[in-house]
Structure 1
Amino acid sequence: MINGKRIAVVMPAYNAEKTLEMTVRELSDLVDIKILVDDSSKDQTAAMSKQLGVHTFVHDSNYGYGRNQQTCYREALAAGADIVVMVHPDYQYTPLLVPAMAGMIASGVYDMVLASRILGGGALRGGMPFYKYVFNRCLTAFQNLFLGVKLSEYHTGFRAFSRQLLETLPILENSDDFVFDNQMIAQAVMFGFHIGEISCPTKYFEEASSINFKRSVEYGIGVLGTTMSYVAHKMGVIHLARFDANGRKVDQEFYSEYARRI
């Protein structure tokens, strides 16, 4: 708890058995709630999560990274979290930064905090493939131009959110796939939330999850589409529920039967 605010860490997981314990062991005692949502893994991720004392939910099918996050945030809000930090359980990002990120939200200055691999210049040193680094920089420059903000990167999977942001953004209108992350940032900009960044080292190794070149290209196309749809909606050319205050929100009843607690 920081400044009287309850902190939840949520972990969207798929086949994370080999790295989950390292991730959980590094979580600060300041964390009040630990939640893992297993997207129907083929290994023992869910069983290990439960053994580690984490509140564990299991999808009845492999629905995808985006919908996994929807469950994570719904359960965190239901558990009374004021601040929610998403940590990938593949140990690519250090959980030691959770208190710092949560503190930036608890200060009231920021509504969303992104742990940037680009700030500090550690991405390539940490093993990020060169083509991913180039994609990251190009897509970030493109989005900064059209979204009218200035972030060092949009593509990190280590993020913190205020409760107000999660209750406001219509994230149930977003993709079930990896571009979900990027759509959330575009929504946060559309709704006027304040976004901060913190430098974060990263580690690329065999057990850490990472999408291949083909999926990276698909993600990049999705980022371009997200950006252009943001611009078109803001200009009134099209209307998208994703950027509408009346769009479906995570606190509404939706997909309520596809995750079970173990």
Structure 2
Amino acid sequence: MKALIIIPAYNEERSIERVVQSVVSAGYDYVVINDGSRDNTAAICEREGFNIVNLPVNLGIGGAVQTGHRYALEHGYDADVQFDGDGQHDATCIAPLLQRLEQGYDLVIGSRFISQENTFKSSTARRGGIAILRAILKMVTHQTITDPTSGFRACGTRAIALFAETYPHDYPEPESIAYAIGSSLRVSEVPVIMHERREGTSSIGIIASAYYMIKVSLAIILTRVSKKREQ
């Protein structure tokens, strides 16, 4: 399976070199999507000769990831894997994601909640938010996704084509799952290891978290309603 690792990066100058090296050491093709970073992310990538696409403005995680999907589609990849540039994801877990794709699934999500090996835990408030999104997804899709906010995920050709055409821009992970299931794609999960962020801070603060929950919850429901109307 010809796989591309998509590394969206926004102001990741302290971690991007280490992240790319871990992917290269694991033997995968990759592309860094520099999402209009204001720090030295682009300069470091260019200095090291990394494969990079520089976006002229910050599009947000959704726009950066969709750029990666379009890159994978245009270059004929059989699969792509979203792999964050902040060092939280573990390159040793890429292979299980791809192996699940080879079993016939279209979208495979790396879950931190179905393995005892994963010692990193997010805050209690964030775990509570994840539980709410899990319940909403279950209600509208009739499928249990234990880690709907996970950004560590693999797409096969059908999902790549779907997401290259349409992908949520704002906090896209849960909404894109609903969109994929509503488009009759097969979605699964595998356990993965995630690490605590080594550098920088999360883009989702207290106020943003409240907006996130309301926006994403409504988006999941509306996505499912629109898909039912199309059917």
Equivalent residue for 1:134, pick from 125, 128, 135 = 128
- Structure 2 CA distance, aligned partners of 1:170 and 1:87? 16
Structure 2 residue aligned with 1:228:
221
Q: Which amino acid in the other structure matches residue 15 of structure 1?
A: N
Alignment gaps of 5+ in structure 1: 245-262
Number of residues of Structure 1 aligned to a counterpart in Structure 2? 229
Quote how far apart the aligned CAs of 1:205 are. 3.5
Contact 1:30–1:99 under 8 Å retained in 2:
no
* Aligned position for 1:202: 194
Q: 1:110 aligns with which of 105, 108, 115?
A: 105
Letter in 2 for 1:130: T
Q: Distance in 1 between matches of 2:75 and 2:164?
A: 19
Please report how far the alpha carbon of residue 60 of structure 1 lies from its aligned counterpart in structure 2 after TM superposition: 1.0
Quick one: which of 71, 84, 91 aligns to 1:88?
84
Kept in 1, the 8 Å contact 2:175–2:223? The answer is no
Corresponding position of 1:19: 15
CA contact (8 A) 2:109 2:152 kept: yes
User: CA separation in 1, counterparts of 2:221 and 2:197?
Assistant: 34
**Structure 1 residue 152: deviation in Å?**
1.0
Name the TM-score, length of structure 2 as normaliser. 0.90
Residue 230 of structure 1 aligns to which amino acid in structure 2? T
Residue 86 of structure 1 and its aligned partner are, at CA, apart by 0.7
CA contact (8 A) 2:86 2:197 kept: no
Task: Give 4+ residue runs of structure 1 displaced > 6 Å after superposition.
Answer: none
Cα distance in 1 for partners of 2:201, 2:109 equals 19
The correspondence of residues 120-199 of structure 1 with structure 2, limited to 5 A, is 120=115, 125-167=119-161, 169=162, 172-178=165-171, 180-199=172-191
User: Unaligned 5+ residue runs, structure 2?
Assistant: none
Aligned partners of 2:97 and 2:154 also within 8 Å? yes
For 1:153, what is the secondary structure of its paired residue? coil
- Please give the alpha-carbon distance, in whole angstroms, between the structure 2 residues aligned to 1:172 and 1:183: 15
Partners of 1:156 and 1:80 in 2: CA distance: 25
Given that 1:122 and 1:202 are in contact with CA atoms closer than 8 Å, whether structure 2 keeps it comes out as no
CA distance in 2, matches of 1:53, 1:34: 12
Q: Secondary structure at the match of 1:11?
A: strand
- Shift in CA distance, 53/98, structure 1 to aligned 2, threshold 3 Å: farther
- Give the residue type in structure 2 aligned to 1:200: V
Contact 2:93-2:193 at 8 Å conserved across structures: no
Which stretch shows the higher mean deviation, 144-153 or 226-235?
226-235
Distance in 2 (CA, whole Å) between partners of 1:128 and 1:196 is 22
Instruction: Give the Å deviation of 1:206.
Output: 5.2
